Amino acid sequence: MARVLGISAHYHDAAAALVVDGEVVAAIQEERLSRIKHDPGLPLAAAFACLQHAGLRPGDLDAVAFYEEPFAKLERVLVHLLRHLPRTWRAFPRALAGQLGSKIWVLDHLSEGLGVARDRVVRFDHHRSHAASALLVSPYERAAVLVVDGVGEAHATTIWDGRGYDLRLLASVDFPHSLGLLYAGLTAYLGFTVNEGEYKVMGLAAWGQPRLREQFARIVRLTGDGAYELDLACFAHMSDADLGFGPALERLLGPRRPPGRPWDFEREDDRHYADVAATLQAVLEDILLALARKARALTGADHLCLAGGVALNALANARLQAEAGFARVFVQPAAGDAGGALGAALLAARERGDPRPAPLRTAALGLPVDADRARDVAGELGLPVRRVDEPAAAVARLVAAGKIVAHARGRFEWGPRALGQRSLLACPRDPATRERMNRLIKEREPFRPFAPAVLSERTGDFFAAGPDDMTPFMTTTARVRDDARERLGAVTHRDGTARLQTVEAARAPELHAVLTELAALGHDPVVLNTSLNGAGEPIVAGAEDALAFWLRHGVDALVVEDLLIERSP
């Protein structure tokens, strides 16, 4: 039996995950503690937090597992930079400095930073780490595994046959052809920040129509048997990673959208950009569907696991569930680079004889919130804090009265979705609530939707789908029933769907209690659930973060465990 710490770092969403005797004990993204959104740095704070939560010291670890092969990544970067000279000459110095600096020596830095012997620091292939993070915490003994992201060492897409604890690579598409980089390039073209704005593109897609398929057929095409190929002249990920797209893309689609300009769908050009997003989403789904069908043909499996950043595209996941031919589909909540830390830990644990862990039941794998600390700080600030005997009942009454409640209870979530532990909760009925949340609190674009959380056993009353293996982690969408749309006006997107979270007591007990109380009061057991953070901020982690959010943002109430602060009328 082993104690293994997994690490991902040096691209974005650095994280640490701790596996002890085959059990996932803790998993934390560095951004939650550093307060730097998408923090890519070596996640020592997250690593020590995982250990402290488990009552362990670094010397107790049997292994520290890194989620990719640093020297293999260096080789890929060098080969492509040299092969594409002189086009890559501007990127060459910075890329080389990055690889030969902290990245190539990351295993040594982990040894030094954690105080662990160097021979206990191991590494695994990037896509294998992703695949393990999905298969090994899934409910399936046998599954096809599809990993789709920007790029690992060389692979951008891989298909695996997963059996028990074993993963066998069956097929791949390699850099520079990448669906992750396709989506990133178009994200930049639409004026959003890469690795941050992809969710915005997905929301924007519902405001357009996929009218530009002819142009996109020249940007990316299926090559048969599930593979795909980019027109590299349209992209710049080998010469300008910050821009992401090349001049050929603008010749096809028109000038890029100016970053930061307010959206106005009365403008013809903004309607065009919405059509670009809609076409991109449709084309991505078509290619993923072809890849998933290929995975089913290669493996014969009835179940599918997805990983990599592209696996956080909830719209695409819903289509795969409906059309790819698999009985069930699973996406673990931190499918992006953070999840690689968990996969690496599980692979190292397997090498040391640990059993495969139980299926992942909850995303609440972070640190608990300290109510005593919250009370002390609130008192020092003169805030009107009081204890309540039944916090779930208090939250339900506030939500039923139309209030927006910041809800910080239990351990914070693993992954980019707030699932009730660090959430903003509100009544899902009135579209005006969505406008208030977008404009005054979240400060987001007006086209971005909010998600509903519903008691699992009542899902069919509101949605044209039941709970599945993705809905507890909010990694898929469902169509809102026609007879429920008026009651769910704040969480129904323009296309009639919602990014659904189904809530069970075993997975999210605090949120389940709120929904149960709403039902007891005679209201629908559904809330608008969005992440407890402002624009450009990581999701709240500890008590000080929750109070800081309260002081900066105009929510009506804050609940930290059994403490309640309400804003005076």
State the total domains in the chain.
Answer: 3
Q: What is the pLDDT of residue 195?
A: 85
Q: What are phi and psi of 10, to 5 degrees?
A: 75, 20
- Please answer whether residues 54 and 61 qualify as being in contact, where contact means their C-beta atoms are separated by less than 8 angstroms: no
Distance, in Å, from the CA atom of 208 to the CA atom of 271, rounded to the nearest integer, reads 7
pLDDT grade for 246, boundaries at 50, 70 and 90: confident
pLDDT grade for 93, boundaries at 50, 70 and 90: low
What percentage of residues in the chain have a pLDDT greater than 70?
Answer: 93
> 486 and 384, same structural domain?
yes
Question: pLDDT of 309-335, one tens digit each?
Answer: 999 999 999 999 999 999 999 999 999
Domain that holds residue 26: 3-137+335-351
Q: What is the pLDDT of residue 95?
A: 60
CB atoms within 10 A of CB 22: 19
Q: What is the pLDDT of residue 242?
A: 61
360 belongs to a structural domain: no
Two tokens, residue 454: 């519903």
- Which amino acids are annotated catalytic? 12
> 426 and 378, same structural domain?
yes
How large is the average pLDDT for residues 498-511?
97
How large is the average pLDDT for residues 552-558?
95
158-185: burial string, b at 16+ Cβ within 10 Å, e else: bbbbbeebebebebbbebbbbbbbbbbb
Two tokens, residue 221: 């095409």
> 388 and 251, same structural domain?
no
Two tokens, residue 477: 């969408």
Q: What is the pLDDT of residue 192?
A: 94
CB atoms within 10 A of CB 28: 29
> 555 and 535, same structural domain?
yes
pTM: 0.95
> 233 and 286, same structural domain?
yes
168 belongs to a structural domain: no
pLDDT over threshold 70, residue 45: yes
pLDDT over threshold 80, residue 92: no
Between the CA of residue 489 and those of 140, 202, 452, what are the distances in Å?
Answer: 36, 19, 10
239 belongs to a structural domain: yes
> 512 and 468, same structural domain?
yes
Sign of the dihedral through C-alpha 297, 303, 307, 310: positive
> 523 and 377, same structural domain?
yes
> 553 and 422, same structural domain?
yes
CATH number for the domain spanning 277: value is: 3.30.420.40
> 399 and 343, same structural domain?
no
Residue where one domain finishes, among candidates 322, 351, 380: 351
219 belongs to a structural domain: yes
